Amino acid sequence: MTLGGEWWREAVIYQIYPRSFADADGDGIGDLPGALARIDHLADLGVDAVWFSPFMRSPQHDAGYDVADYRDIDPLFGTLADFDAFLAAAHERGIRIIVDLVPNHSSVEHVWFQEALAAPPGSAERERYLFRDGRGDDGELPPNNWESEFGGSAWERVTEPDGTPGQWYLHLFDSSQPDFNWRNPEVRDEFTSILRFWLDRGVDGFRVDVAHGLIKKEGLADHEKPVNAGPMGSRDELSPYRGQPEVHDIFREWHHVLASYDGDRVLCAEAWLSTADKTALWVRRDEMHQAFNFGYLMAGWDPQSLRDVIAESLRAYPAVGAPATWVLSNHDVIRHTARLMLPPGQDDGIGPRSPYLPEYEPGLRRARAATTIMLALPGSAYLYQGEELGLPEVVDISDDAREDPTFVRTQGERYGRDGCRVPIPWERGAPASGFNTTGESWLPQPEGWGDHARDVEIADPRSTLHLYRRLLRERRERRLGRSVLVWIDDVGDDVLAFHTHDVTVFANFGAQPFPLPTGQVIAASGPVVDGHLPTDTAVWLDTGGVPIGPETGGVPIVRDDVEDLIRKYGSEDVPSD
């Protein structure tokens, strides 16, 4: 079944990180023909759409998030014809395609940046980026104190064409990623044209990289980043480049570009902002369609924080007419098999010297429970490749094999994101566990990686892969993405419980097994023992749409009137068709 109008409101969107998904030419870096050869895995899994991390031309200093040509595919990944073939094959299977647009910065190899370097200060070529004179007697100090998200100063000094030390350019990320000047209409026009280029090829939407950063506060004054600024600086309330008001104008323009095409196309913001209310401003009716819910991703493994962030999201996003979204893993964060075990604050990459390294089995248990909760929630959900195999975060990557610029720019102080990017295992015992046929791998696969391979999981009915398939099938058939969530109270401090459509979800975070009410188990993240839900386990019960109450021998519930709920959450209960 393909989802219909405004499909993105309930879609499950699978992120392909192309470098690590599947490698057809055997050079150790995944590619589009490799992804095409594995497309039936996605169809079997039951996802509605694929989001591709960048595959445009790039020198790959930040794994493709440094784009040199927005209208071509990097030869590492294939050709435009390979992309068209993937898109056609996906559409045939009812899977939509979202591409990653990286508008905050280009690569230093982009023709515009090369022109800017060759042109004098004050030229139109430099006005496309953020060049400034340095401070100090000879301009030897950076123009302000801003720091790169990857560590170190956010400014790099250039050598002018005549060989003298010259101006500085801003790069919120690596020095190979100069920031565009989004106050310049030429930049805006260029990106409108890039959007059209991909829309004309038939893409169903865009994930917009660093959407929070496009506009910098006028004047570029100094700013002290708080000590615990959070992933991507998301807790930095006063940031001069995070969610500046002028960004809304840009998103409105893009919204209209997408609306001028037939079908329902989607814009999803990567916006690391501090609250759901702030993020909701970006997904008002005429702006983006959805934004990643990083508040949910960052919530700790405890029922109260989760309930708070879910309730907050189901209030804030529907209040502006947008769906809530949910995400537990992506290519920038520690895989949730490990992250949910970590003490607060230790969430910025882990490696051999980290003070605490989580054990795999208990982490997997939590991760499975977390996904079982997430896939029941109303709205749209994002999955990251490999989470359906329960992949661990890889910690034992040697320093010289690490590729994330964060590691290099902080002299190894921050491990960065390589641990969640190790190439996918497809077949146990095959070269590179089936990632390709040559055994090459751009990041080393650890010992035992093949034990998580897809073929191993297919053969085991209790595997994480089978759990995901089941959850996705039931979610889709019951249209849980469009339902209303009703909390169940009085289940104690260790349990999270709610109804959604005809499913009742229980998740037990406590040490004591929790007695479940009667009901048929639709899916469970782990075994239910004698009607009891063990610790770190979640279950979907079929209660046939009948609220569970004391009369059924189960726990009492508090249920508001449904009309009231619809008013409150702005969402509606759509029965299966």
Tell me whether strands 131-132 and 165-170 are parallel, antiparallel or unpaired.
Answer: antiparallel
* Closest CA relative to residue 375, chosen from 386, 367, 363: 367
- Which is nearer to ligand GLC, 203 or 210 (by Cβ)? 210
| DSSP conformation class of 105 | B
- Which is nearer to ligand GLC, 107 or 167 (by Cβ)? 107
Tell me whether strands 96-101 and 49-52 are parallel, antiparallel or unpaired.
Answer: parallel
Residue 493 identity (one-letter amino acid): D
- Which is nearer to ligand GLC, 270 or 474 (by Cβ)? 270
- Which is nearer to ligand GLC, 332 or 388 (by Cβ)? 332
CB of 102 to ligand GLC, least distance (A): 6
| DSSP conformation class of 276 | H
Contacts of 203 (CB under 8 A, 6+ apart): 87, 97, 98, 99, 265
Catalytic residue among 270, 287, 348, 474: 270
Catalytic residue among 156, 179, 209, 388: 209
Report residue 21: phi and psi, to 5°: -85, -60
3-state secondary structure of 403: coil
Look up 270 and say whether it is catalytic: yes
CB of 214 to ligand GLC, least distance (A): 12
Residues forming the site for ligand GLC (CB under 6 A) = 62, 65, 102, 173, 209-210, 232, 270, 331-332
CB of 290 to ligand GLC, least distance (A): 16
Tokens 């490696």: give the residue: 351
Closest residue to ligand GLC, judged by C-beta, is 65
Phi-psi region of 43 (alpha: psi -120 to 50; beta: other; left: phi over 0): alpha
CB of 213 to ligand GLC, least distance (A): 9
CB of 274 to ligand GLC, least distance (A): 16
**Using CA atoms, how far apart are residues 152 and 298, in angstroms rounded to an integer?**
24
CB of 548 to ligand GLC, least distance (A): 41
- Which is nearer to ligand GLC, 204 or 332 (by Cβ)? 332
Look up 413 and say whether it is catalytic: no
- Which is nearer to ligand GLC, 270 or 403 (by Cβ)? 270
DSSP 171-233: -SS-TTSPBB-TTSHHHHHHHHHHHHHHHHTT--EEEETTGGGSSPPTT-------TT--GGG
Which positions are annotated as active-site residues?
209, 270
